[in-house]
Structures are given as structure tokens and as C-alpha cells.
């Protein structure tokens, strides 16, 4: 039986990879311009990092983690998100001793045992950015501005920034209780999951997609009716900073996000072109996460962008697939050897060049050059080679010229190839 990939795990094939590389390159450029440094963290962590960090009563920890015992009996989990691991690395390597504020980003796969559908996979990629060590709402605004700027830089428009506050340790318990009391009166309308959530995590009911639950929360109290003056001040300043920067947002008092560690700021970037899984990115502040995982009190804020969703939104028409700059069609033994020598030299010069390995006819070599969408073809026959020359054909306008072989690289460069000097 042919072995297939696991459900919800995708291959990213060569004809799609140009988009991924473009997005990753742009993220690195934009984020580094904002003062962020890349960090790479393991894909596997001890399970308790996530159960304590993300929260026992979240969907992720309750039912979506890939958890298993290793051969020594340790419980390990494939990371479902990156923030907890980044916070762990920051504590473990005492990065706060180097500089109290750390701006970090990371790109890589995450794993959640969710029901696969369009825009939702079991292995999916995220671009994460986090700022540790500062609680000032100015940083919340700066991070959100960077996110929107990045999404615009890759060509995404018509996005909606949704904003909410979730309160903090001082005021969230009151909201939780207020919401629980309200929902108790509506329990008959709630799905089985939400009946359970009523006790464990009533805020999650606000996020439920079941129609009767949506109806039940229609008149639910809002977090903004409960938050303390400190949280209100933080929220007001954030809104002001965003307005000063000319960034439009809409308030969504129902947005709770799926992870328990959020405090105060929560945000999502939504695209209505995406269908039901419409969040391209989400994030928020988490001023208690570090304590949950055994550290001191360190404030933090961050976001994660879903790369598959982002890539599905990229505008059409941009050229992502790379084609050869040159194809060498050689006829005969000596020209074929010369073609091999030239191609190697071009590769060392950073020029994308291809040749025929199978001794095919000129016609079929030209067909392959066409298929590969090579920009130029060098036609090399016995006669030309003896004179140290070859025919260079522009595959787009079909014009041809004979050039001395020793001038090949110069000729290609003059034709405005994007060649990176290799220093050879």
C-alpha cells in the first residue's frame, strides 16, 4: 500500500515555495527593522510548559496537544504555539540580564489535533513576534503597527484589526463571575462543551461557534463593564497610540482568544476573504505567563500569524516561481562537455543555469528550455565551439545573436540579470 501523509499535515511543493520564501524574507526584513531578533526554539517541550503556560482549561491543552511519553517516560508535547517556549528560553538563558527588554521573533511549524478543514491543519506554520519585559501600552501599539505594516508589505489589504481588553488578575475574576452567573440562566441553550466551560472557563463560551451558544451570549455582560481603572487606562492609551499612528481598529468585546494567559490587550486581524477560519493573526498581552511557568513577574506581549492563511490571501500576479536564467542546448560530445563546464561555472557565479543530461535532439532540448521557462538558451554546436562561439537566444522575443563564449557571463550580466557576485 502506498504511504500517504498524515491527515492535516501538508507538503509544501516547489511551485508554492516561492510564496513561503517571500513571506519569510519580508517578515525578517520588517521585524529586524523594528528591532526584533530571530530565535529558534525546539519543536518538543515538556508537556507541563504548555499545560501551565497556556492553561489546563483551554481547548488546546484539553484536547489538541500531541503528547506522548519518550523512552524514559517523560511526557513531551509537540509545540502547539511558540510563546510559552520563547518565554521559557528567555528565562532559561537569562536573556533579561543582557537587556531587560527582549524583542524576539520565530518562524516554524506548530501542531494541534484540530479537525482539519480549509485554513485549519494539524501541522501549520506561524510567524511569532514577542516583546518581553515592558508593560507600557506604547509597546502594544508598536507591535500591532508592525504586524499591520508587515501584512501590508506582503500585499494584504482589506484587513480588519479587532481589539479588546481582557482585564487582569485584579478584575477578570469579577468578569468571569458576572459572566458565569449570566450564563447559568442560559445553560439550557448551551452545547455540552459550553455547559462544562461554565464551571471551568466561562470566557470560552464567548468564542463558541454553535448557533444556540451564540444566541445565548447575545446579551452577555461585556468585559469592559468590569475592568479596573488600571486596565481601562492601559486600553485607552493603546487606542490613543493606534489613533496617533493612523491605524483603524474596531472594538470586539466578544473576542477572548483561545489561550488563558492573555491579560489586558487582545487583538485579531481578520480577512473576510478567508471564509469561516477568518483570522490571519492574533495576539495579546500576557503579564502572568512568566510566573505560570516558574519565573518572576515579567510582562509580555506578542502575536502569531498563520502562514497558510496569509499565503492563501497573497495577491495574484506576483511572480514567485523561479525559472532558469539560461538553458544550454548542446549538440555532440565536445559541446556537451563544454556545456557541463559552462554550467558549473555559471552556478558558481550564482546564475541559474540548466543543461540536457540525456543527449537529446536539439528540438527536444529546446522544448525543455521552453517548459522550464528559461529566459535565454545558449545553442552550442560543434561548428560554433571550434570558433569559441555560440548562439544566445532570447526565449521571450526569439531574437538570436552569436557571441564569443568567453563573453558569456558579461553578456548575461549586461542583459540585466540579477546576479549576486559570488566573489569568484
Would you say 279 or 380 has its CB closer to ligand AMP?
279
Which of 179, 281, 326, 380 is the binder for ligand AMP (CB under 6 A)?
Answer: 281
304 binds ligand AMP (CB under 6 A): yes
C-beta of residue 310 within 8 angstroms of C-beta of residue 125: no
The grid cell for 51 is 499545560
Cell of residue 183, nine digits: 450564563
Which of the residues 53 through 92 are near ligand AMP (CB under 6 A)? Answer: 81
Site stretch for ligand AMP (CB under 6 A), options 117-125, 316-324, 367-375, 382-390: 117-125
Exposure of 410 in the CB half-sphere (CA atoms within 13 A): 5
> Measured from the CB of residue 120, what is the shortest distance to ligand AMP in angstroms?
4
Residue 337: CB atoms within 10 Å? 12
Distance CA 424, CA 418 (A): 16
What is the CA 277 to chain-centroid distance, rounded? 15
CB–CB of 330/356 below 8 Å?
Answer: yes
CB closer to ligand AMP out of 30 and 255: 255
Number of residues that bind ligand AMP (CB under 6 A): 17
Residues facing 389 on adjacent strands? 404
Residue of 90, 105, 124, 267 interacting with ligand AMP (CB under 6 A): 124
Alpha helices in 245-330 (DSSP H): 289-292, 307-312
Report the site for ligand AMP in 308-337 (rule: CB under 6 A). 308-309
Whether 46 and 76 have beta carbons less than 8 Å apart is answered as yes
Please identify, using beta-carbon distances, which residue of 112 and 197 lies nearer to ligand AMP: 112
Kindly write down the DSSP assignment for every residue of 194-206, as one continuous string: HHHHHHH-GGGGG
Does 293 sit near ligand AMP (CB under 6 A)? no
Is 182 exposed, middle or buried (CB count within 10 Å of its CB: 0-12, 13-18, 19+)? middle
Least distance CB 124 / ligand AMP (angstroms): 3
Least separation in angstroms between residue 117's CB and ligand AMP is: 9
C-beta of 120 vs 360, nearer to ligand AMP: 120
Instruction: Work out whether 302 is an interface residue with ligand AMP (CB under 6 A).
Output: no
Q: Which of residues 231-270 bind ligand AMP (CB under 6 A)?
A: 258
Cα 102 to chain centroid distance, Å, stands at 20
Q: Which residue is nearest to ligand AMP (CB)?
A: 306
Report in angstroms how near the CB of residue 23 gets to ligand AMP at its nearest: 13
DSSP states along 160-173: EEEEEE---TTTHH
Residue 334's contacts (CB-CB under 8 Å, 6 or more residues apart) are 382, 385
And the C-alpha cell for 353?
543555469
Select the residue interacting with ligand AMP from 202, 282, 300, 335 (CB under 6 A). 282
User: Among residues 100 and 152, whose Cβ is nearest to ligand AMP?
Assistant: 152
Tell me the per-residue interface mask from 126 to 165 with ligand AMP, x by CB under 6 A, - otherwise: x---------------------------------------
Name the minimum Å distance from CB 257 to ligand AMP: 6
Give the nearest distance from C-beta 401 to ligand AMP in angstroms: 51
Residue 379 pairs in a beta bridge with: 329, 391
Q: What is the torsional sign of CA 230, 234, 236, 240?
A: positive
Candidates 279, 369, 374, 408: give the one binding ligand AMP (CB under 6 A): 279
Smallest distance from the beta carbon of 166 to ligand AMP, in angstroms?
A: 13
The smaller minimum CB distance to ligand AMP, of residues 18 and 258, is found at 258
Within 10 A of 251 (CB to CB), how many other CB atoms are there?
14
Q: Name the DSSP letter for residue 14.
A: H
306 binds ligand AMP, rule: CB under 6 A: yes
Grid coordinates in use for 245? 499612528
Q: Which stretch binds ligand AMP (CB under 6 A): 28-36, 42-50, 116-124, 404-412?
A: 116-124
Closer residue to ligand AMP, CB minimum distance, 132 or 327? 132
Measured CA to CA, the distance from residue 333 to residue 339 in angstroms comes to 10
Which C-beta is closer to ligand AMP: that of 52 or that of 375?
Answer: 52
List residues near ligand AMP by CB under 6 A. Answer: 81, 112, 114, 119-121, 124, 126, 258, 279-282, 304, 306, 308-309
Amino acid at each position: 500500500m502506498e504511504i500517504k501523509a498524515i491527515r492535516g499535515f501538508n507538503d509544501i511543493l516547489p511551485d508554492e515555495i516561492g510564496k513561503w520564501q517571500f513571506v519569510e524574507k519580508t517578515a525578517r526584513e520588517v521585524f529586524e527593522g523594528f528591532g526584533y531578533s530571530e530565535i529558534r526554539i525546539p519543536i518538543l517541550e515538556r508537556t507541563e510548559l504548555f499545560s501551565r503556560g497556556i492553561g489546563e482549561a483551554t481547548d488546546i491543552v484539553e484536547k489538541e496537544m500531541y503528547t506522548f511519553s519518550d523512552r524514559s517516560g517523560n511526557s513531551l508535547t509537540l509545540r502547539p504555539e511558540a510563546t510559552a517556549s520563547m518565554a521559557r528560553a528567555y528565562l532559561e538563558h537569562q536573556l533579561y540580564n543582557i537587556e531587560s527588554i527582549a524583542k524576539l521573533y520565530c518562524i516554524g511549524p506548530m501542531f494541534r489535533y484540530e479537525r482539519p478543514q480549509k485554513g485549519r491543519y494539524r501541522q501549520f506554520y506561524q510567524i511569532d513576534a514577542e516583546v518581553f519585559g515592558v508593560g507600557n501600552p506604547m509597546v502594544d501599539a508598536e507591535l500591532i503597527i508592525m504586524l499591520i505594516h508587515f501584512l501590508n508589505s506582503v500585499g494584504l489589504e482589506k484587513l480588519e484589526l479587532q481589539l479588546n481588553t481582557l482585564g487582569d488578575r485584579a478584575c477578570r475574576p469579577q468578569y468571569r463571575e458576572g459572566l458565569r452567573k449570566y450564563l447559568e440562566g442560559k445553560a439550557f441553550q448551551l452545547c455540552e462543551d459550553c455547559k462544562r466551560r461554565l464551571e471551568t472557563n466561562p470566557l470560552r463560551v464567548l468564542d463558541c461557534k454553535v448557533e444556540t451558544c451564540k444566541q445565548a451570549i447575545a446579551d452577555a455582560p461585556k468585559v469592559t463593564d468590569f475592568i479596573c481603572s488600571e486596565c481601562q487606562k492601559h486600553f485607552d492609551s493603546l487606542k490613543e497610540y493606534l489613533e496617533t499612528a493612523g491605524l483603524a481598529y474596531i472594538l470586539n468585546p466578544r473576542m477572548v482568544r483561545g489561550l488563558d494567559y492573555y491579560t489586558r490587550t487582545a487583538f485579531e486581524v481578520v480577512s473576510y476573504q478567508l471564509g469561516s477560519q477568518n483570522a490571519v493573526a492574533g495576539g495579546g498581552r500576557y503579564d502572568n505567563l512568566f510566573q505560570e511557568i516558574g519565573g518572576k513577574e515579567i510582562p509580555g506581549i506578542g502575536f502569531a500569524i498563520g502562514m497558510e492563511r496569509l499565503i492563501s490571501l497573497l495577491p495574484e500576479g506576483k511572480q514567485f516561481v523561479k525559472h532558469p536564467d539560461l538553458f544550454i542546448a548542446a549538440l555532440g560530445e565536445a559541446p556537451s562537455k563544454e556545456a557541463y563546464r559552462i554550467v558549473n561555472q555559471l552556478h558558481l557565479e550564482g546564475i541559474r543555469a540548466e543543461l540536457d543530461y540525456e543527449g537529446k535532439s536539439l528540438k527536444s532540448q529546446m522544448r525543455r528550455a521552453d517548459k522550464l521557462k528559461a529566459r535565454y538558451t545558449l545553442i552550442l554546436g560543434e561548428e560554433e565551439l571550434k570558433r569559441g562561439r555560440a548562439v544566445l537566444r532570447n526565449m521571450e522575443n526569439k531574437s538570436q545573436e552569436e557571441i564569443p563564449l568567453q563573453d558569456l557571463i558579461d553578456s548575461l550580466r549586461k542583459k540585466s540579470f540579477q546576479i549576486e557576485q559570488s566573489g569568484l
